[in-house]
Structure 1
Amino acid sequence: MRRHARALVAFALAAGVVAGTTGWVSGDAQQALTGPPPGSAQWRADRALGTGLPDPERAAPADVAEFFAGLSAGERQLLVVRHPSVVGNLDGAPLELRYRANALALAAEDDPRYRSLAAPGRRILAFDPRGRGQVAEVFGDLRTASRVAVVVPGSDNDAGTYDRKAAAHGAPPGMARTLHTAAGPGTAVVAWVGYTTPVGVGIDAATGGLAEAGAGRLTRFTEGLTADGLPGPAVFCHSYGSVVCGLAAHRLRATDLVVLGSPGMRADDVAGLRTRARVWAAKDPTDWIDNVPNVRFAGLGHGTDPTDPAFGARRVPADDARGHAGYFAPGTDSLRTFAAIVRGTATRDGARGPAVARALDGAEALEGTQAPADAQALEGVGR
């Protein structure tokens, strides 16, 4: 009898999740792309330098960085030419080599979906054509930036759809570009489509399998940035991307975790994320994600709404954003606040405008603290 009751409860919760948003059952099941980059077998067998090369799957990004630091310019260039697909996706390799390697890989790619990625001047930090394709692109000068951000998107994103023209500020490059423009000089933003995302709002979007695989890839990617001497990033996680970030949170070397339009982070509260990063959350009143039940049962659902005061995140105002993809729209309070988070200097440099003031004061009010002086408003980044 007890087993029967539990089955009914599970069914009811599952039905609630499935019915929580229009078209939930329209998604197709996806197989997560994991493992080392294409061409890794040839890389492992290469003895052109008279020694073995770091294993793309097992070598830590810090070890990869140390290996490349010991090579001459000629040896580095040799590896780029011989193994562009490996070097272009090898976390810990110098970003300049990765840009060059991915330009070569894209020039040799026949798939018309990726033609636009090969345009001169683009800074492609990762490119993997397998499956639906994965890509990461840099906006700004990552090498000289004092502040860095990474944007992690949600469902229906891959290398093939990356350059779609619709929703200019809602697609990954649009999010990263508008955030970089708003954050200004001295910053760089990476649009990271480096995991297999759900398609539509099917069972993949309601479960954590793809997010688990993505969390490992995101962790390694951010480790590669810091191993290459770059600052720890602020990580912005949209929709299902916030599930990825929630599962990766305890391993990410991030100053801030910012979730927007989140169905949940697979944690009951900020403490459950086990992160030293500051955690921020945004949800606008017209976002359909609000119709998704915040449950987590029998593998379905992603848990507490991060904008719920009980979760404990700092609240980013988003009342003037529109829809699920409107958080990076120019002129919105949410984008202004995101930019302030990236800069980490919104109060120190006296550039605190009215919208940002409302954003930060709202976060402080949520925490039940008195608004600090401008010089202290962003104190403790990364603690």
Structure 2
Amino acid sequence: MRFRRSLIAAMVSITVLAGTGAAAAGAAVSDEQIAITTPPAGTGAWLHDHSLGRAMPDPATATAEQAARFFAGLTPAQQQQLVRQYPLVVGNFDGAPPALRYQANQLAMRQELALQQGRASDTGASPGSRATAAGRVSALQLLTAPGHQVLAFDPRGRGLVAEVFGDLTTAQRVSVLVPGSDMDLEHFYNAGDPLKSTSGMAQSLRTEEAALAPGTSTAVVAWSGYVTPVGLGADAATARLAEAGAPRLESLMAGLSVTTDPEAAPTLLCHSYGSVVCGIAAPELHAAEGVSDMVVLGSPGMDVPDASALGDGVRLWATARNPGDWIGDVPYLEVAGLGHGADPTSSDFGSRVIASTGSYGHTGYFAPGTASLRNFADIALGHYGDVACAGDATAAGGCLNGL
């Protein structure tokens, strides 16, 4: 097994690096990551808490509807009691009121910040441990600053986080950004190159939406809510982490369906390895508001044979690869669990292929002034007639055909 993992990592690295030049040559070939599939810390005590005189919903099995009913049945004082005692449970419970989750996650992050500050200043710790703690301190100081609406936070592993830009309670249009590899708590923000971060992509989308439709209330969820691959290795080449992350994405979407009231189902924008997560989750997405638009960009494949395998509840848009995106050097195949299958932008996949004119590089699709960013915003806003196709919009198979 160890040899097989090493072989997969080497194959992927050679394949990708062969055509990507100096920038990609610096990418790390990583060890496997440990997926997070269990409820957050505090769940055991939560389930054994009888102080409210009622059974507590199990975070591992309760539906979003059940969670919403539970929290709606509590008094404000009882809600605050649970926030104080179980911030990680409340903060990550899909179906709980967003405002309550924001409050709980702020408390959980402040507690984690104090812990990491202690580790960063511990002279008895190794330099690597202190550096890791210092990186977390920087990220948490930013996220605990006033104005941040953190919908999910889990300090386990490399750290999971989701932040909302906009007002979920009033948003007429909601979007969810699902990132690819190398995204975690420490990389959720990137001051030097915002478009290389989950938050930067999400904020760029919302800025574009505001420019196109200033009278429309929008919200974008930047969701680094699953364990992503690190670098170029076995994790990036297989669907293991995506299969673990898909149920978490399904739960998020179910929670949004009972805590928000947009005009249409939320739009999913899935970047790179995130498109594998979206592909696996798609058949379980059943939006009460109708069909969900799903946009993939920089995709290595979606682990499905074609768009029809995503189910009737999804309308798939695939972003044409720009000339500087190294993902095009990855073989679009799946053999014995290696690779992610067919190219979503290919003519026989069944996607609505949209233009990306002006973008460059694997993370350049959200750059201001690009056709891709404009298209993402138009799709999220429901302005389908304004979408620029990669080919002839009126031809058979054009991206606007049938709309």
TM superposition score normalised by structure 2: 0.83
1:272-283 superposed matches below 5 A: 272-282=309-319, 283=321
Counterpart of 1:148 in 2: which secondary structure?
Answer: strand
Q: What whole-Å deviation, never above 9, does each CA across 1:98-125 have from its counterpart, x for those lacking one?
A: 0111111112223214221111110000
Write the distance in 2 (CA, Å) between the matches of 1:368 and 1:177.
29
Which string of whole-angstrom CA distances, capped at 9 and with x for unpartnered residues, describes residues 235-268 of structure 1? 0000000000011110124611100000000111
Please state how far the C-alpha of 1:360 moved relative to its aligned partner: 8.2
Give the C-alpha shift of residue 187 in structure 1.
Answer: 1.1
- Structure 1 residues 366, 155: closer, same or farther in 2, change over 3 A? farther
Distance 1:193 1:315 in 2: 26
Q: Which runs of 4+ in 1 moved over 6 A?
A: 11-15
Q: CA deviation at 1:167?
A: 2.2
State the secondary structure of the residue aligned to 2:283. coil
Residues 1:38 and 2:68 aligned together: no
User: What is residue 367 of structure 1 aligned with on the other side?
Assistant: 397
CA contact (8 A) 1:333 1:359 kept: no
Distance 1:15 1:310, change over 3 A: farther
Which residue number in structure 1 is paired with residue 15 of structure 2?
20
Q: Which runs of 5+ in 2 are unaligned?
A: 1-5, 18-24, 117-136, 211-215
* Cα separation, partners in 2 of 1:12 and 1:124, compared to 1, 3 Å: closer
**Residue-by-residue CA offset, 1:164-210 (whole Å, 9 max, x unaligned):** 22321231001100101111231110000000000001010000100
Tell me if the contact between 1:155 and 1:197 (Cα under 8 Å) persists in the aligned partners.
Answer: yes
Q: After the TM superposition, which residues 111-260 of structure 1 pair with which residues of structure 2 at under 5 Å, given as runs?
A: 111=116, 112=137, 113-184=139-210, 185-231=216-262, 232-253=265-286, 255-260=292-297
Pair 1:323–1:71, CA change in 2 (3 A): same
| Match in the other structure for 1:284 | 322
The amino acid across from 1:245 in the alignment is: C
Aligned-residue RMSD, C-alpha:
2.2
Deviates more, 1:268-277 or 1:208-217: 268-277
Residue 284 of structure 2 aligns to a residue whose secondary structure is coil
Give the CA deviation at 1:362: 4.4
CA contact (8 A) 1:314 1:367 kept: yes
Per the TM alignment, residue 359 of structure 1 is displaced from its structure 2 partner at its CA by: 3.3
Query: Which one of the candidate residues 66, 70, 75 is aligned to 2:69?
Result: 66
- Of the structure 1 ranges 87-96 and 265-274, higher mean CA displacement relative to structure 2 is found in 265-274
Q: Which residue of 2 aligns with 1:4?
A: none
Tell me how far apart the structure 1 counterparts of residues 141 and 351 of structure 2 sit (CA, whole Å): 40
CA distance in structure 1 between the aligned counterparts of 2:144 and 2:88, rounded to whole angstroms: 14
**In 2, are the aligned partners of 1:17 and 1:293 still within 8 Å (CA)?**
no
Q: How many residues align?
A: 355
Is contact 1:317-1:362 (8 Å) kept? no
2:169 and 2:360 map into 1 onto residues whose CA distance is: 34
Residues 1:196 and 1:78: Cα distance change in structure 2 (over 3 Å): same
Q: Quick check: 1:315–1:362 contact (8 Å CA) kept in 2?
A: no
* Post-superposition offset of 1:13: 9.8
Gaps of 5+ in 1: 1-10
- Residues 195, 105 of structure 1: CA spacing in aligned structure 2 closer, same or farther, 3 A cutoff? same
1:333-367 superposed Cα distances (whole Å, 9 cap, x missing partner)? 000000001111354xxxx4xxx4x3387455461
Shift of 1:77: 1.6
Identity %: 50
Partner amino acid, structure 2, of 1:237: C
The answer (yes or no) to whether the contact 1:14–1:300 under 8 Å persists in 2 is no
Letter in 1 for 2:199: P
Distance 1:366 1:204 in 2: 38
Deviation at 1:230, TM superposition (A): 3.6
Alpha-carbon offset, residue 28 of structure 1: 2.0
Q: Distance in 1 between matches of 2:169 and 2:242?
A: 29
Partner-residue secondary structure (3-state), 1:20: helix
Q: Which amino acid aligns with 1:19?
A: I
Cα pair 1:309 1:366 within 8 Å, conserved:
no
Q: Distance in 1 between matches of 2:69 and 2:57?
A: 10
Closer/same/farther in 2, CA of residues 301 and 165 from structure 1, 3 Å limit? same
Q: Which residue of 2 aligns with 1:305?
A: 343
Letter in 1 for 2:303: R
Alignment partner of 2:106 out of 82, 103, 112: 103
Write the distance in 2 (CA, Å) between the matches of 1:30 and 1:15. Answer: 17
